[in-house]
């Protein structure tokens, strides 16, 4: 089975500091997309950032950026200048063969706490 | 359009009862997904529709689960003879592009508690 692994169940960061959430995945594919989703408490999940595997350049969306290491199958999320509103569950996801590449397979998530 | 809506938001039922959840996707989205999320875990894929066709089903979707999307609009997920292990949040998501490239838009979920 193709898997997504998030090894940090919980992380904590001070407001205005930087935090990095880790994700590794397993695939034999060469061309795919990777995603980070955010799930705030009692609210719906939303897309944070997306990376195309064939692109060398790491994706950036405002304070959110990724460190994509294709050979290592690593896809970490960096949040700069952390804000209280960043507190949420963060899920790494990619379209694994387990779903026929038709749907996303999600990791188990990292709960991010932001301390004022 | 206010996004993906799910109904009911919460459902408490007794073991052995049948339950049905409804999902109304964003109107122009032709692709619809159901996921199940247990406490502290990531969403697990259940099934996928493109228009009215159910194109993919997870091994998690036992014969007690059935999903439909008549006319390619709203979708229903029915669980028959519920078991305590079915207690979870059931999430619906939609998109107008393949999820392996595009963004999924999620509803707030339907939380099921089986007593």
Chain centroid to CA B68: 10
Which of A51-60, A76-85, A107-116, B97-106 is predicted least confidently? B97-106
- Interface-testing mutation among A8, A48, A54, A102, with chain B (most B C-beta atoms within 10 A): A102
SS3 helix, strand, coil % of chain A, rounded to 5?
5, 45, 45
Pair A99, B103: CB distance under 8 Å: no
Using CA atoms, how far apart are residues A72 and B15, in angstroms rounded to an integer? 45
pLDDT of the residue at A13: 97
* A100 or A28: which leads in pLDDT: A28
Residue A1 has pLDDT above 70, yes or no: no
Under DSSP, the state recorded for A104 is P
Is any Cβ of chain B less than 8 angstroms from the Cβ of A57?
A: no
Under DSSP, the state recorded for B72 is G
Report pLDDT digits (tens) over B38-84. Answer: 988 999 999 999 999 998 888 878 899 999 999 889 999 999 999 99
Contact state of B3 with A102 under an 8 Å Cβ cutoff: no
Report pLDDT digits (tens) over B80-100. Answer: 999 999 999 999 999 987 666
Contact state of A106 with B42 under an 8 Å Cβ cutoff: yes
Contact state of B41 with A108 under an 8 Å Cβ cutoff: yes
């Amino acid at each position: 089975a193709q898997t997504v692994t998030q090894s940090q169940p919980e992380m904590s960061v001070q407001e205005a500091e930087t935090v990095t959430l880790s994700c590794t995945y397993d695939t034999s594919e060469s061309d795919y997309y990777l995603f980070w989703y955010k799930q705030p408490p009692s609210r719906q999940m939303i897309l944070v950032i997306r990376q195309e595997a064939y692109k060398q350049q790491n994706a950036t969306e405002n304070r959110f950026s990724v460190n994509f290491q294709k050979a290592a199958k690593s896809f970490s999320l960096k949040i700069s200048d952390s804000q209280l509103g960043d507190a949420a569950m963060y899920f790494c996801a990619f379209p694994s063969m387990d779903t026929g590449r038709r749907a996303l397979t999600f990791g188990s998530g990292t709960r991010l706490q932001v301390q004022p | 359009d206010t996004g993906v809506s799910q109904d009911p938001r919460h459902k408490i039922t007794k073991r052995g009862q049948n339950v049905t959840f409804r999902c109304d996707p964003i109107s122009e989205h032709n692709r619809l997904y159901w996921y199940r999320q247990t406490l502290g875990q990531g969403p697990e894929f259940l099934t996928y529709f493109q228009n009215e066709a159910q194109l993919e089903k997870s091994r998690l979707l036992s014969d007690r689960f059935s999903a439909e999307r008549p006319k390619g609009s709203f979708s229903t997920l029915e669980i028959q003879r519920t078991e305590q292990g079915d207690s979870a949040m059931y999430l619906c998501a939609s998109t107008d592009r393949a999820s392996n490239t595009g963004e999924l838009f999620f509803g707030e979920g339907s939380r099921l508690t089986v007593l």
